[in-house]
């Protein structure tokens, strides 16, 4: 009887801790419960939940274990369930992409090749899925040519995608033109998309980073001022982009010297954003506030902010910029 009780308790414990919904998994990831995601997401979990287990494997750099886990899932899927199999190949591609970024220069190319092969397999199985096309396009646009990057292939796929998904396809066309150094076409596509989808924050962020890289700081300022005027979104993912646009305004204003008080407000708002938004920015928002404060003429306050940023940071580049403010009173 005691043995039966232990079995029942074990089953109840499993049921209480099993991660069965995407919402549960997302919450655990936000709370950095990596071990719980790995342990409590079942082998037969639906793709949307399984994705979080793979993310957890990637975060803990258990890449080989992740590949083995996905391969085991693939073996259990019927050969004719092409859409489900395509999604598993996407997960494999994501693991190889993370492994390539973590690897040495001697092995990164091999993992990148595995990533491309996985994305191609996913696209071959289910070319109608948005995720399969976007992943393959993203690889072609983002990877160096010696590991398979190819902006022309990306453009061809993006033009196909635009027929069924105008916004996503349009964004991919814009990115492809950028990769091909077709600046006039990229600019024309960006403007057309902004006219057609003025509320799309992801598009606005892509446009802002394009302008910044081109040192078109005044154009970027105009775009960003419009962007931060858009109402704060409800969903977390889009909300994160909304906050990031505020940071981008601060960064751009250091170059443009425009609307400095507004830029300071923007970077202060960014620093109050949820941790899942700010954690990857280290102390750069605090340093941007120091730079903007110095440009506004308040040297004493700028030095204080720069000291705070430097004291809390291990980033050598950030510390050098902070020292420049503290010792020389210069941005």
Kindly report, residue by residue over 127-140, the tens digit of the pLDDT.
999 999 999 999 99
pLDDT of residue 7: 43
Would the pLDDT of 236 be above 50?
Answer: yes
> What does DSSP assign to residue 129?
-
- Cα–Cα distances in angstroms (integers) from residue 17 to residues 4, 8, 11, in the given order: 20, 14, 10
How many other CB atoms are found less than 10 A from the CB of residue 16? Answer: 8
Low-confidence winner among 25-39, 166-180, 290-304 (lowest mean pLDDT): 25-39
> What does DSSP assign to residue 279?
G
Taken as a whole, the chain contains a residue count of 331
pTM equals 0.88
Kindly report, residue by residue over 55-114, the tens digit of the pLDDT.
999 999 999 999 999 999 999 999 999 999 999 999 999 999 999 999 998 999 999 999
pLDDT of residue 18: 76
């Amino acid at each position: 009887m005691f043995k039966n009780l232990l079995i029942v308790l074990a089953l109840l414990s499993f049921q209480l801790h099993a991660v069965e919904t995407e919402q549960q998994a997302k919450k655990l990831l936000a709370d950095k419960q990596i071990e719980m995601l790995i342990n409590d997401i079942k082998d037969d979990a639906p793709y949307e939940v399984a994705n979080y287990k793979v993310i957890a494997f990637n975060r803990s750099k258990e890449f080989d274990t992740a590949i083995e886990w996905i391969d085991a899932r693939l073996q259990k899927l019927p050969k004719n369930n092409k859409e489900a199999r395509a999604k598993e190949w996407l997960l494999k591609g994501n693991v190889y992409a993370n492994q390539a970024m973590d690897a040495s220069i001697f092995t990164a190319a091999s993992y990148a090749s595995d990533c491309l092969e996985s994305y191609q397999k996913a696209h071959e199985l289910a070319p109608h899925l948005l995720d399969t096309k976007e992943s393959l396009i993203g690889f072609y646009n983002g990877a160096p040519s010696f590991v398979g990057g190819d902006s022309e292939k990306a453009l061809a796929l993006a033009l196909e995608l635009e027929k069924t998904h105008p916004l996503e396809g349009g964004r991919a066309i814009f990115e492809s033109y950028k990769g091909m150094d077709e600046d006039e076409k990229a600019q024309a596509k960006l403007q057309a998309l902004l006219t057609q989808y003025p509320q799309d924050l992801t598009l606005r962020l892509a446009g802002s980073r394009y302008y910044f890289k081109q040192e078109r700081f005044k154009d970027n300022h105009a775009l960003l001022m419009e962007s931060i005027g858009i109402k704060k979104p409800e969903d977390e993912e889009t909300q994160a982009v909304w906050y990031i646009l505020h940071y981008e305004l601060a960064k751009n204003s250091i170059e443009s010297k425009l609307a400095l008080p507004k830029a300071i407000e923007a970077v202060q708002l960014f620093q109050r954003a949820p941790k899942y938004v700010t954690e990857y920015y280290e102390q750069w928002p605090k340093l941007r506030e120091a730079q903007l404060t110095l440009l506004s003429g308040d040297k004493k306050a700028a030095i204080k902010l720069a000291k705070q940023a430097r004291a809390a940071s291990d980033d050598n580049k950030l510390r050098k910029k902070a020292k420049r403010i503290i010792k020389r009173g210069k941005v």
